[in-house]
Amino acid sequence: MTPVQRALEEMATIIYTSGSTGKSKGVMHDFKTMIVSTKGFCESGFNVTSNDRHLSYLPLAHVMERWLGECVPLYAAHEVYYAYSIHTFVEDLNRARPTFFVSIPRLWTKLQQGVLQKMSPGKSSFALKVPIISTMIKKEITKGISLDQVRITGSGSAPIPADLIQWYKDLGLELIEGYGMTENFSYSHISRPGMGLAGSVGQTYDDVTARIAEDGEIQALSPGLMMGYY
């Protein structure tokens, strides 16, 4: 079978916005915006390779999972595990043992609560500050939530509390935050590894420029910019 050749400027997909700020709109993306955004993420300090593993559990109908759970694995040729359902998430996470894991603040909170139910906050905070035992406890906690092999962790879709970021940082997990929209295929801002700052979505990608308009609107010029609305 002869593969179909597609032009970079040809429309590849329509992704609908969540509708949280108004009527949901169909965003048209061509192959170029998807390729450039995917390549830019993989090569922006995260160095995603075929040795990585990802658990896909967020809706592929939304841009973030379409990007990280579909396009990035195709580009980097790494393994993707799929969650069976919301009820099997813990088992699926344990099965995948991802090397990079991106989630939303609510799930990061639920994972923390699961740990603290077994260990009081005061006891865990004290133990994590004692060098002799902190390493053992950190390994036990991260293994317990199936993130002991992760090297990239991220959070998006909403702000995440600074104390929650610090709690995971104490475990050795840096929650990278970023910012993007369906309209630019999530390719706008990202915190680089080791440069995360609570309350910040990081810097623009190298090939993205941004400015704040007089009315406070965030305006970004990105190679991931859509063709238009359907």
- Show the domain range for 118: 12-229
Q: What is the CATH number of the domain that holds 188?
A: 3.40.50.12780
How far is the C-alpha of 218 from the C-alpha of 221, rounded, in Å?
Answer: 10
Please tell me the predicted confidence (pLDDT) of residue 131: 60
Within-domain flag for 73: yes
The pLDDT assigned to 120 comes to 61
Structural domains in the chain (count) = 1
Give a yes or no: residue 7 inside a domain: no
DSSP states of 11-75 = EEEEEE---TTSS--EEEEEHHHHHHHHHHHIIIII---TT-EEEE-S-TTSHHHHIIIIIHHHH
Which residue, 80, 44, 3, is CA-closest to 176? 44
**175 DSSP 8-state letter:** E
Residue 4: inside a domain: no
Whether 107 and 93 have beta carbons less than 8 Å apart is answered as: no
Q: Is residue 1 part of a domain?
A: no
Name the DSSP letter for residue 117.
Answer: T
d(C-alpha 158, C-alpha 168), whole Å = 17
- Give the strand pairing for 26-30 and 53-56: unpaired
pTM: 0.81
In a domain, 215, yes or no: yes
Strand partners of residue 189: 179, 204
**Tens-of-pLDDT digits for all 230 residues of the chain?**
788 889 999 999 999 998 777 889 999 999 999 999 999 998 887 888 899 999 998 888 899 899 989 999 999 999 999 999 888 988 999 999 999 888 888 888 888 888 877 776 555 566 656 665 567 777 778 888 888 888 888 887 777 888 888 888 888 888 888 889 999 999 999 888 777 777 778 889 999 999 999 999 989 999 999 999 99
Half-sphere exposure of 202 (CA within 13 A, CB side): 24
Q: Does 2 fall in a domain?
A: no
Is residue 79 situated within a structural domain?
yes
Give a yes or no: residue 6 inside a domain: no
